């Protein structure tokens, strides 16, 4: 990085995130929170009219609002180096992650992509290969890794603070798909329950991959073998809306992972619990400031961000004084800011953001659970 680039906002373009899209607006808020990005281009929809509409709403130069992601990459690459975008944010449905990721990397742009990485291991391998051969950076927005208390839990567990890990439990419970709302045309349900767009995993891919990535991220161990069971409780649904998985871990621990979108009344119930020979940690996304640290004798403490006793890494992700809740948007912003720091060659956290390799594992996890459920047997991961 040249000295004149240090601290300057990263020029970025977006693929997807047009009118009616939920996650695109979240990504834009996240990239804006620390002022580390300048959104200057986009192909916001497969509809040219909707892409232009989004560009107008965002106040972009119409000449930098493109009819397709292919046009955006070609048009931006033709601009002088100090004017073109430097990175691409991909916020499309899952089946449109692969094409723009590979093309952007090969065109010399860094890529930050929503999860899951893509819809098959073969396509995931192509993305990883493009990232390696291009020398560009690739980040995957598993945003929960950006929560301060998740970083605190990770460092406590991996430093031996709870002893040798014995049991791991991850669950992600929602209730918004207990009825077949996709049949009414509800946009978010429509594509998430369509295997041609979401990939073969429904709840498994949408929220199960979050639980899986978080479990491995905090425990420092990898799932080596699993036994999965998938269900579609809505009879007309073409993908799973519920999944249960038994796990064996690389360090000898065992546990379970549950992902369901038919738990009526649940909103965003992501919970992680890890227990070792000397204690344990428990965390719930709906109360993200509280990390419960359990001791062997039954005593426990609750650690919260913004206090002097938390570790340096967790403190570096904390934005507000103690007692002020931080969560979803801040987690996304922490990943975006770490990605910008990496692009600029600045000092960064250890393991600052989820990588393409973690994305590959997420896709392999989906496929392994599907295979296990279909074969009714344990499978290797």
- Give the lowest-confidence range in 5-9, 70-74, 192-196: 5-9
CA 294 to each of CA 135, 171, 265, 311: distance values in angstroms, whole numbers, following the listed order: 43, 19, 29, 17
Please confirm whether the linkage preceding 380 is cis (ω < 30° from 0).
no
- 365 neighbors 120 (Cβ within 8 angstroms): no
pLDDT of the residue at 4: 60
| Superfamily of chain region 147-319+356-375 | Dihydrodipicolinate Reductase; domain 2 (3.30.360.10)
- The average pLDDT across 308-316 equals 95
CA quadruple 156, 337, 34, 213: dihedral sign:
negative
Q: Where in the chain is the domain with CATH 3.30.360.10?
A: 147-319+356-375
- 264 neighbors 278 (Cβ within 8 angstroms): no
Please tell me the distance from the alpha carbon of residue 253 to that of residue 280, in angstroms, as a whole number: 13
Band of the pLDDT at 1, cuts 50, 70, 90? very low
pLDDT of the residue at 7: 73
DSSP string, 1-29: --GGGTTPPEEEEEES--TT-HHHHHHHH
Band of the pLDDT at 3, cuts 50, 70, 90? low
By three-state DSSP, how is residue 243 classified? strand
Residues 135-177 have pLDDT tens digits of 999 999 999 999 999 999 999 999 999 999 999 999 999 999 9
- 92 neighbors 24 (Cβ within 8 angstroms): no
pLDDT of the residue at 21: 87
- The average pLDDT across 12-25 equals 94
CA quadruple 194, 240, 20, 264: dihedral sign:
positive
Beta bridge mates, 294:
280, 300
DSSP string, 302-364: EE-TTSTTS-HHHHHT--S-TTS---HHHHHHHHHHHHHHHHTT----SS-S--HHHHHHHHH
- The average pLDDT across 348-361 equals 96
Please tell me the distance from the alpha carbon of residue 219 to that of residue 6, in angstroms, as a whole number: 34
CA 187 to each of CA 50, 198, 208, 212: distance values in angstroms, whole numbers, following the listed order: 15, 13, 20, 26
Answering whether pTM is above 0.85, one says yes
The class of domain 3-140 in CATH terms is alpha beta
Q: Inform me whether the pLDDT recorded for 123 exceeds 60.
A: yes
Residues 226-249 have pLDDT tens digits of 999 999 999 999 999 999 999 999
Residues 57-92 have pLDDT tens digits of 999 999 999 999 999 999 999 999 999 999 999 999
Band of the pLDDT at 268, cuts 50, 70, 90? very high
pLDDT of the residue at 61: 97
Q: Where in the chain is the domain with CATH 3.40.50.720?
A: 3-140
């Amino acid at each position: 990085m040249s000295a004149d680039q240090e601290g300057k906002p990263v020029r970025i373009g977006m693929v997807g995130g047009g009118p009616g899209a939920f996650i695109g607006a979240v990504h834009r808020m996240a990239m804006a929170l620390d002022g580390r990005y300048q959104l200057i281009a986009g192909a916001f929809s497969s509809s040219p009219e909707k892409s232009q509409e989004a560009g107008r709403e965002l106040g972009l130069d119409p000449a930098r609002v493109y009819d397709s992601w292919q046009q955006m990459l070609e048009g931006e690459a033709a601009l002088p180096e100090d004017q073109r975008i430097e990175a691409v944010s991909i916020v499309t449905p899952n089946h449109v992650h692969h094409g723009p990721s590979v093309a952007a990397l090969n065109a010399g742009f860094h890529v930050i992509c929503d999860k899951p990485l893509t819809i098959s291991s073969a396509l995931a391998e192509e993305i990883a290969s493009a990232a390696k051969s291009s020398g560009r950076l690739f980040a995957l927005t598993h945003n929960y890794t950006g929560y301060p208390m998740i970083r605190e839990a990770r460092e406590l567990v991996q430093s031996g603070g709870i002893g040798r890990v014995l049991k791991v439990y991850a669950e992600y419970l929602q209730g918004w798909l207990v009825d077949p709302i996709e049949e009414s045309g509800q946009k978010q349900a429509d594509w998430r329950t369509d295997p041609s767009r979401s990939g073969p995993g429904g709840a498994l891919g949408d929220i199960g991959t979050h639980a899986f990535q978080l479990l491995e991220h905090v425990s420092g161990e990898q799932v080596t073998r699993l036994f999965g069971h998938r269900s579609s409780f809505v009879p007309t649904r073409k993908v799973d809306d519920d999944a249960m998985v038994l796990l064996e871990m690389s360090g000898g621990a065992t546990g379970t992972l549950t992902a369901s979108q038919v738990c009526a009344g649940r909103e965003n119930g992501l919970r992680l619990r890890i227990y070792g020979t000397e204690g344990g940690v428990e965390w719930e996304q709906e109360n993200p400031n509280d990390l419960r640290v359990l001791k062997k004798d039954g005593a426990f403490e609750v650690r919260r961000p913004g206090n002097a006793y938390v570790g340096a890494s967790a403190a570096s992700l904390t934005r507000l004084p103690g007692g002020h809740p931080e969560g979803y948007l801040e987690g996304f912003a922490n990943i975006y800011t770490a990605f910008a720091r990496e692009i600029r060659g600045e000092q960064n956290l250890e393991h600052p953001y989820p990588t393409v390799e973690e994305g590959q594992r997420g896709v392999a996890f989906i496929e392994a659970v599907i295979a296990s459920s279909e074969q009714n047997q344990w499978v290797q991961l």
